[in-house]
Amino acid sequence: MKKLTIKKKRAAQGDVMHTGNYDILIDGEPIDDKRLINIKIEAGAFEYPTVSLEYRPKEIEIDGVVVNDSKGEAK
């Protein structure tokens, strides 16, 4: 990840800070905000910021093996 962009949507409701009110792009590509659980941004003085994303993917592939968990499927 080179760049994280967070932009408020025009259709945002109120001043509530939840992912549905924002477009979130990683390196210019939008991510599915329905699958995003949490964003954590830490920025200390004189340090590069650290970003952690908690995300529920539709599919995970590890060394050519696809792992699916339909119980955690976001609609």
pLDDT at 75 over 50: no
Q: What is the pLDDT of residues 37-50, one digit of tens each?
A: 888 999 988 888 99
CB-based burial of residue 9 (10 Å sphere; 0-12 exposed, 13-18 middle, 19+ buried)? exposed
More confident residue, 75 or 65: 65
Q: What is the mean pLDDT of residues 67-73?
A: 63
Q: What is the pLDDT of residues 11-31, one digit of tens each?
A: 777 777 777 788 899 999 998
Domain residue limits, the chain:
4-72
Residue 63 confidence class, pLDDT cut points 50, 70, 90: very high
